[in-house]
Amino acid sequence: SKRYDRVSPLLEHMNESGISPDECTFNSLIQMFATGGYPQRAKKLLGKMKYAGFKPKCETYAAAITTLSRNYLVSEAIYLYNEMKASGVEPNVVVYGVLIDTFAETGQLEEALHYNNLMEESGIAPNQIVLTSLIKAYIKANCWKEAQDLYSRMKNMDGGPDIVASNSMLNLYANLGMVTKVKEIFDCLRRNNQADDVSYTIMISLYKNMGLLNESVRVAHDLQNSGLLSDCASYNAVMACFVAKGKLRECAELV
């Protein structure tokens, strides 16, 4: 934080010395504040950059919009989006992806779809990150068929669905009690060495809730042996499984 606090006096010293920040200076500082989690400072510097006569590029706007969105300053992020459009700077997939994901995370499906439509109308195809965000938005809105359709679409893309999309579908199918679908995705993830602690945790909880304790314990042991047992949620799932099966010694060894 102290390093960031030195930037403003440095800019003032440059001005007092008759050295004006150039476009590269502004771009670097905006990127620095954006990645450092200082959205208001990034936005303020963007304003100073324009006042100095420089036209920010898409990447500069993208950095500011991203940090504003990630810090829940959505209205300010939208303001910058509209500003860049008005100034003739076309948003890229990063800008659209951030806005779509922001609305997806808050369950605002219509807004997420709105920016996806704007993106596609501008000639930009949604990538894996965007489609994953839309899947999350559809699931939160209980639009399960749409989520399934998008997931199927991702299977035909290079690289296939990412782990976030797959875990989202795993959780959806688990909540719906669609065990065959859950096993199909989980087995595919394991074959491709993509399963993470979230994937295993979903399977452990599913089998436990169904009363299939032997299966739950088997997956719990697989998670232990995989080296992926790392966070509180996965530890809790494994311990709950062992307790339900009466494996108190194994549960105690986790602590």
Dist CA 50 CA 192 (whole Å): 48
Which tokens hold the place of 137? 């938005």
Q: Which residue carries 């150039």 as its tokens?
A: 22
Q: Which residues of the chain have pLDDT under 70?
A: 1-16, 235, 245, 248-255
Asked if 80 contacts 48 with a C-beta cutoff of 8 angstroms, the reply is: no
The pLDDT value given to residue 4: 55
Asked if 50 contacts 56 with a C-beta cutoff of 8 angstroms, the reply is: yes
What value, to the nearest 5°, has the Cα angle with vertex 205 and ends 203 and 209? 120
The candidate with the shortest Cα–Cα distance to 95, out of 70, 62, 121, is 62
The pLDDT value given to residue 20: 77
Condensed to tens digits (0 to 9), the pLDDT of residues 206-241 reads: 988 888 888 888 888 888 888 887 777 776 777 777
The candidate with the shortest Cα–Cα distance to 143, out of 109, 93, 182, 181, is 109
Report the 10 Å Cβ neighbour count for 20: 11
3-state helix, strand, coil in the chain (%, to 5): 75, 0, 25
Dist CA 70 CA 133 (whole Å): 14
Asked if 165 contacts 128 with a C-beta cutoff of 8 angstroms, the reply is: yes
What SS3 string covers 82-138? Answer: HHHHHCCCCCCHHHHHHHHHHHHHCCCHHHHHHHHHHHHHCCCCCCHHHHHHHHHHH
- Name, in order, each residue with C-beta under 8 angstroms of 51's C-beta and a sequence gap of 6 or more: none
Asked if 216 contacts 245 with a C-beta cutoff of 8 angstroms, the reply is: yes
Dist CA 31 CA 61 (whole Å): 10
- Name, in order, each residue with C-beta under 8 angstroms of 90's C-beta and a sequence gap of 6 or more: 58, 122
Dist CA 31 CA 63 (whole Å): 6
